[in-house]
Structure 1
Amino acid sequence: MKTITVCVNRRLSGQASCAARGSETLAQALENIALSQPDLRIMRLPCMGACEEGPNVKVVGGDLYHGVTLAMLQKILQEMDAM
């Protein structure tokens, strides 16, 4: 099974966080895609330790992407398929 993790950390102190930069929307979009791809699992993680560079998305066994946008998701999925 292919797995993509999405950081959904939200810092309450007002510091930079993946959730504040839209990672929850990214996670939802990936979860919607996974509904039609039974071999794809999406996991929401509380922190990947790179909030200043987020939103962060990690292909398990592959690359870690920083500053991810909705427009980047298709490319990430294509690169994952090529693994």
Structure 2
Amino acid sequence: MKTIAICVNRRLSGQPSCAARGSEALVQALEMATKMHANIRIIRLPCMGACEVGPNVKVVGGDLYHEVDLAMLPLILEEAGV
């Protein structure tokens, strides 16, 4: 089973965070895109330690993507085998 992890950290202090940069919409899009694929698991992480370059998405066992937007999701899904 492939796992795609996405940071959904929201810092309330006004510092950069993945959630403030759109990761919540990205995780919803990933969940919808993989709904029919039992071999893909999407997990939400509280922090990947790189919010300055977020949103961050990691294909476990593969690449870590920074500054992810909706246009990048097909590339990420392809790497995960969708």
Measured against the shorter chain, the TM-score band is over 0.9
- The 4+ residue runs of structure 1 with deviation greater than 4 A are none
Residue 37 of structure 2 is matched in structure 1 by 37
CA distance in 2, matches of 1:77, 1:30: 8
2:45 and 2:11 map into 1 onto residues whose CA distance is 14
1:69 correspondence with 2:72: no
Q: Deviations over 1:18-74 (max 9, x none)?
A: 000000000011111121111110000000000000000000000100000001000
The separation in 2 between residues aligned to 1:57 and 1:30, in whole angstroms, is 10
Unaligned segments of structure 2, at least 5 residues: none
RMSD in angstroms over aligned alpha carbons? 0.7
TM-score normalised per structure 2: 0.95
Q: Which runs of 5+ in 1 are unaligned?
A: none
Q: AA paired with 1:64?
A: L
Give me the whole-angstrom Cα distance separating, in 2, the residues matched to 1:70 and 1:39. 22
1:15 aligned partner, one-letter code: Q
After TM superposition, list the pairs within 5 Å mapping 1:1-83 onto structure 2. 1-81=1-81
Q: 2:4·2:57 contact (CA, 8 Å) conserved in 1?
A: yes
Cα shift at 1:12 = 0.4
